[in-house]
Amino acid sequence: MIGVARTYLSNNIRPIVWTNTQSYKNPKVDELLAAAGTVTDPAKRKADYAAFEKIVTDEVPIMFVNLTPYHTATSKKVGNVPTTIWGPVSPLDEVYFK
């Protein structure tokens, strides 16, 4: 969930990328995200995030209508190529030539 909260928190409403650009406000969502971000009990944290997910799934404050596919092709001479969901838009500071 790292980075997801910024899209839904009402105190992060701004007209710039990586914020709550849709001006979504729900006090319960703010409360759940605040709690989940600080609670140390994994079961409680999971429950908080599940409740948050249920609310935003029901309310659909943001809906992605397209998906940009990212593909990565590299040489075997390149090491530590990012293999996460972010792929080629990941930081490349740990990529190296073998």
If we measure between CA atoms, which residue out of 81, 58, 60 comes closest to residue 71? 81
Both 35 and 11 in a single domain? yes
Whether the Cβ atoms of residue 70 and residue 89 lie closer than 8 Å to each other? yes
pLDDT at 66: 82
pLDDT at 95: 92
Report how many domains make up the chain. 2
Q: What is the SS3 string spanning 82-96?
A: CCCCCHHHCCCCCCE
pLDDT at 83: 84
Q: What is the mean pLDDT of each run of 10 residues along the chain (98 residues)?
A: 85 93 97 94 96 97 82 89 82 91
Q: Which domain holds residue 14?
A: 5-59
Q: What's the predicted TM-score (pTM) here?
A: 0.67
